[in-house]
Structure 1
Amino acid sequence: MIKRISIILVLSVFVLACNGIEKPKKPDNLISKDQMSDLLYDLYIINSAKGVNRNLLQSNGFNPENYILEKYNIDSTQFADSNTYYTFDTEEYSAIINKVKARLEKEKEIFEELQDKENDSIKKHKDSIRNLDRNRNLKTVKKLDSTVIGKKKIKRPVGIKDSLLQ
């Protein structure tokens, strides 16, 4: 009996707790969707750089989050309030995040194209250097062949003595 009462009590508390979630009110200084997507894009890029070059950023005293907030002329509470407002409505926030993803993928494609062009250029240079080395080696072999052909050794038959030496 006590188990049933405790289970019913826990379930009723759980159900009542879930109903108390209200949409946060719209902040007075809400960041626009476009600016929010730009801001999130920059944050993703900076956080990626921070993961790769953490020591470099720390040694220069660079705080990426403060830089982004200063760039967009907003403070951390304005960003937090706007982010909370947008994240509550999952469809709106998904649209913002999808815009950021599309921009990141576009930038990635551009970067990969540039990297492929650079790799092709490097490969062409390596191939031309390899061809130069081959040509040098062929010239050296030709010189060696021409010197050997010009100085053929004449063999004397075995057993025949030189008549002049007698």
Structure 2
Amino acid sequence: MRIILTLIILVIVQSCKDFNNKKPENLISEDKMVEILFDLEIINAARGENKKIIEEKISNVNNYLQNKYKIGIDQFENSISYYSSDILKYSTIIQEVEQKLDSTKNLIQKKISAKRNRQDSLINISKSDTGNLKKNSFTSSPIYREKKLRKNVQKSQ
């Protein structure tokens, strides 16, 4: 029991040690890191919705990062390690990713709402209104008025 307690204390003390993580030579900029993490969040969310489609489009995330951002997995891991060692920088990056996700979500919701509102105008008219609409549109047509006028003329003769 003492050995386990001693090991736990050593692990805790060792983990509290101040790491002086040196800046890697090929560090990814904070703005680019925001873009990368944003894309990775979108990919992960899409995988949760429809894994098959995402796997068809993006077979390997490492290749995706390399093709889109021209970075390797080692460069990405070194940059994540560096930024995560500085809590303030890392939390700033994460907050920017969250803001970008929220704004993208709001934009998509607005587009969906606008699409739903763009319906045929007759769908929004109640049945009583459509009855009046048919009656009024029929009685106000020039052909109907001409026929009615002919009937009235024939009756008067």
The residue aligned with 1:142 is none
1:84 and 2:81 equivalent?
yes
Task: Return the letter of the residue paired with 1:103.
Answer: K
The residue aligned with 2:59 is 63
Q: TM-score with structure 1 length normalisation?
A: 0.65
Return the match for 1:29 from 14, 18, 26.
Answer: 26
Task: Return the letter of the residue paired with 1:62.
Answer: I
The residue aligned with 1:74 is 71
More divergent stretch after superposition (94-103 vs 119-128): 119-128
Cα deviation digits, residues 64-115 of structure 1 (max 9, x gap): 5121332000010100010011011111000011111111111111111111
Question: What stretches of structure 2 of length at least 5 have no aligned partner?
Answer: 136-157
Distance 1:81 1:127, change over 3 A: same
Structure label with greater radius of gyration: 1
Identity over aligned pairs, percent: 29
Structure 1 position 133, deviation (Å): 9.8
The residue aligned with 2:111 is 114
Measured in 1, the distance between the counterparts of 2:130 and 2:108 equals 34
1:42 and 2:19 equivalent?
no
Structure 1 position 26, deviation (Å): 1.3
Cα deviation digits, residues 20-67 of structure 1 (max 9, x gap): 452322111000001111111111112211221211233x36325121
More divergent stretch after superposition (74-83 vs 42-51): 42-51
Distance 1:107 1:64, change over 3 A: farther
Secondary structure of the 2:100 match is helix
For the aligned residues, what is the CA RMSD?
3.1
Measured in 1, the distance between the counterparts of 2:123 and 2:64 equals 41
Question: What stretches of structure 1 of length at least 5 have no aligned partner?
Answer: 140-166
Q: TM-score with structure 2 length normalisation?
A: 0.68
Measured in 1, the distance between the counterparts of 2:96 and 2:73 equals 22
Q: How does 1:149-164 map to 2 (within 5 A)?
A: none
